[in-house]
Chain A
Amino acid sequence: MHIAVCMKQVPDSAQIRVHPVTNTIMRQGVPTIINPYDLFALEEALRLRDKFGGEVTVLTMGPPMAEDSLRKALTFGADRAVLLTDRFFAGSDTLATSFALSAALEKIAAEFGETPIVFTGKQTIDGDTAQVGPGIAKRLGLNQLTYVSRIAEVDQAGQTITVERRAEGGVQLLQTRLPVLITMLEGTNEIRRGSLADAYRAASAKLVSWNAADAGIVDLAKCGLRGSPTIVKKVFAPQARAEAARMLAVEDGAEAVMTEIFVRQPALEAELMRFASGQ
Chain B
Amino acid sequence: MSDTSRASTKKALPEHFKAYKHVWVAVELEHGVVHPVSFELLGEGRKLADKRGVDLAGVVMGGDEASVLAAAQECFEYGADLVYTVTDKVLADYRNETATKALTDLVNSYKPEILLLGATNLGRDLAGSVATTLRTGLTADSTGLEIDDEGSLAATRPTFGGSLLCTIMTLNFRPQMATVRPRVMAMPARQPGRVGRIVEHPLGLAEDEVVTKVLKFIADRASNKAQLAYADIVVAGGLGLRSAENFQLVKSLAEVLGAEYGGSRPLVQKGWITAERQIGQTGKTIRPKLYIAAGISGAIQHRVGVEGADLIVAINTDPNAQIFQFAHLGIVADAIEFLPRLTEAFRSYLSVNRLAG
Contact = CB atoms under 8 A, between A and B. Distances in A.
Interface of A: 11, 13-14, 16-18, 23, 25, 87-88, 90-91, 93-95, 98, 125-135, 137-139, 143-144, 146-147, 162, 164, 166-177, 186-187, 220, 224-226, 228-238, 240-241, 243, 245-250, 253-255, 257-258, 260-261, 264-265, 267-268, 271-273, 275-277
22 contacts: A129-B141, A135-B128, A135-B129, A146-B96, A147-B125, A168-B28, A170-B219, A176-B213, A186-B275, A230-B168, A231-B8, A233-B154, A233-B166, A237-B165, A238-B158, A245-B314, A249-B331, A253-B341, A255-B349, A272-B258, A275-B350, A276-B351
B135 interface: yes
A169 B30 contact: yes
Interface string B255-290: 001100000000000000001000001100000011
Nearest to B345: A254
B353 A276 contact: yes
Contact of B327 (A14, A146, A245): A245
B342 A247 contact: no
A272 B257 contact: yes
A25 B345 contact: no
Nearest to B35: A168
Nearest to B274: A187
A91 B168 contact: no
A226 B125 contact: no
Interface stretch (B68-76, B108-116, B170-178): B170-178
The CB with the most chain B CB atoms within 10 A, among A225, A229, A235, is that of A229
A231 B153 CA distance: 12
A91 B135 contact: no
Categorize the interface residue count of chain B: 35 or more
B246 interface: no
Nearest to B348: A255
Contacts of A18: 163-164
B122 A167 contact: yes
A228 B161 contact: no
B117 to A, nearest CB: 11
B357 A277 contact: yes
B256 to A, nearest CB: 8
Contacts of A255: 345, 349
Contact of B220 (A126, A134, A169, A268): A169
B211 interface: yes
The CB with the most chain B CB atoms within 10 A, among A147, A225, A257, is that of A257
B124 A232 contact: no
B224 to A, nearest CB: 11
Contact of B313 (A25, A261, A267): A261
B303 interface: yes
B331 A240 contact: no
Contacts of B190: none
A146 to B, nearest CB: 5
B97 A143 contact: yes
Contacts of B9: 231
B2 interface: yes
A16 B345 CA distance: 41
Nearest to A139: B132
Nearest to B155: A230
B217 A172 contact: yes
Interface in B6-25: 6-9
B328 A245 contact: yes
B169 A176 contact: no
A16 B300 CA distance: 11
Contacts of A229: 135-137, 170, 172-173
B328 A11 contact: no
Contacts of B125: 134, 144, 146-147
A166 B285 CA distance: 18
A174 B213 contact: yes
A278 B325 CA distance: 36
Which are the 9 A-B pairs with shortest beta-carbon distances?
A: A134-B128, A229-B137, A13-B161, A129-B140, A230-B137, A276-B350, A225-B7, A254-B341, A254-B345
